[in-house]
Structure 1
Amino acid sequence: MSDNIFNRRNDNRNTDLITNPSPRVPVCLILDTSGSMFGDPIEELNNGVELFLEEVKSDEKARWSAEIAMISFGGVVNVCSDFQSVDRIDFKRFYADGGTPMEEAVMKGIELLEKRKNDYKNRGVSYYQPWMIIMSDGEPTTPLVKSYQITYKMSQNRKLVCLPLGVRDANMNILSKFSNQFAMELEGIKFKDFFEWLSKSVGAVANSSTTDAEVTLPQPPPTLKIKNC
């Protein structure tokens, strides 16, 4: 990506903060696309993310309030989308390849989130507690150093809703380190179930009366299990 294109995208995102005064719901998806996701799992993940984006678009309030960032980690960390409204996202389907650099991916997500929060503050835009979804089907191939300490502390201080999601052979003990809430485990590869629930949850937050309101989230589907690790 050229510097000119990157700068134009940043300008568009910042202009949107002026023209659209809606309180924001920042949602960061950090998705494992390593080689072990090859085949049906990566196809189901693609279908699930597409469903999520379409469901957010279909909710009039969430469409203008939600800002989505997507980071994949399969061999390398790739910022597929910085925080922006769902209408601006040009989704490219994921391909499975490489190892599982979870530490680097989560740190990149934290970096993007902090930058966007500063954008909100500098332009006087209010925002709801950010969400971060960390999905993996295996174990990190690089050491976890500080990413989980940062997300756990942010969760504990109510600065972040961190949802670790394990699929198939994921190490749930490792995933549970990232949040002060229990990690979740998805039955099989039913990503659509999870992303449908996530879109409804984001919609519930976007439609709440104020950014300080306590929000009752939809009941998770039966395929989504809470793991006490």
Structure 2
Amino acid sequence: MDDLFLQHKELIENPTARVPICLVLDRSGSMSGEPIAELNKGVQLFIQSIRRDDIAAAAAEIAIVSFGDEAPRKELDFGSIERQKVPYLTASGLTPMGAAVNMALDMLELRKKMYQQTGVDYYQPWMVLMTDGAPTDDITQAAERSTQLALARKLTVFPIGIGPHADLSALKQFSPRRDPARLKGLNFSLFFEWLSKSVSAVSQSTPGERIPLPKTGGWDEL
């Protein structure tokens, strides 16, 4: 069955208001070893936590873009979380962050159009951007797009620095409304546990309603 047809079918059969979330994850060479292993474990736990929450599972839609090598990759497209296969990321290459954010924003825009075509309401999209370094490509256009959407309240950006060498000033360019946070050690599991609780809280609210997110739970350096 064509994947695009399947996505339309899933939206029509389950008209629950959606929370579209795109994880934009660094898998460059500097993430080799324990960092990429812990990141993979955290993503797995995140998906599992959403699946265990009936309300969040019906509402949350997750996509994953990774950036390493010479270009970003679409690792997971939007769709029913019950049928999604969580990818395993491997670390190598450069840090094409700008191209990855552009890919993520394109995917979120396409998803919003699909919601509109099928009459499904949706919450403000989320983009989670995680890196342990600095971009190796031009981030100007991607940062401008992300900033405009965030200022118009059409996108929530969660910029997360991994380790002491993450360029928080570069991350800040994507997020005018939320300062970057630095992950404490390799607390990916705690971060994704917090993220799943945040998704659950939002999915139980009304689209457009502002709600406080849970406390960080100690995953960050604040």
Q: Report TM bin, short chain.
A: over 0.9
Which one of 188, 199, 203 corresponds to residue 202 of structure 1? 199
Structure 2 Cα separation of the partners of residues 173 and 213 of structure 1 = 30
Deviation at 1:85, TM superposition (A): 2.3
Report the 3-state secondary structure (helix = DSSP H, G, I; strand = E; otherwise coil) of the residue aligned with 2:78: strand
- Tell me if structure 1 keeps the 8 A contact 2:30–2:132: yes
Which one of 12, 28, 31 corresponds to residue 34 of structure 1? 28
Q: RMSD between aligned alpha carbons?
A: 1.1
- Runs (4+) off by over 4 Å: none
Counterpart position of 2:66: 72
Structure 1 Cα separation of the partners of residues 80 and 99 of structure 2 = 24
Which one of 74, 79, 82 corresponds to residue 87 of structure 1? 82
Mapping 1:17-56, distance limit 5 Å: 17-56=11-50
- Tell me if structure 1 keeps the 8 A contact 2:76–2:87: no
Q: Specify every segment of 5 or more residues in structure 1 that has no aligned partner in the other structure, as ranges.
A: none
Does residue 138 of structure 1 match 2:130? no
Aligned residues: 219
Mapping 1:1-229, distance limit 5 Å: 8-75=2-69, 76-168=71-163, 169-180=165-176, 181-208=178-205, 210-225=206-221
Structure 1 Cα separation of the partners of residues 151 and 130 of structure 2 = 20
Deviation at 1:218, TM superposition (A): 0.7
AA of the residue aligned to 2:116: K
Q: Specify every segment of 5 or more residues in structure 2 that has no aligned partner in the other structure, as ranges.
A: none
Task: Note the alpha carbon deviations across 1:185-204, whole angstroms, 9 max, x for none.
Answer: 10111100110000000010
- Tell me if structure 1 keeps the 8 A contact 2:190–2:219: yes
The TM-score with structure 1 as length reference comes to: 0.93
- Tell me if structure 2 keeps the 8 A contact 1:65–1:85: no
Deviation at 1:214, TM superposition (A): 1.7
Deviation at 1:123, TM superposition (A): 1.1
- Tell me if structure 2 keeps the 8 A contact 1:102–1:144: yes
Deviation at 1:133, TM superposition (A): 0.4
Structure 2 Cα separation of the partners of residues 20 and 189 of structure 1 = 36
Structure 2 Cα separation of the partners of residues 223 and 82 of structure 1 = 27
Range that drifts further, 185-194 or 22-31: 185-194
Task: Note the alpha carbon deviations across 1:151-183, whole angstroms, 9 max, x for none.
Answer: 111111110001111001100011011112111
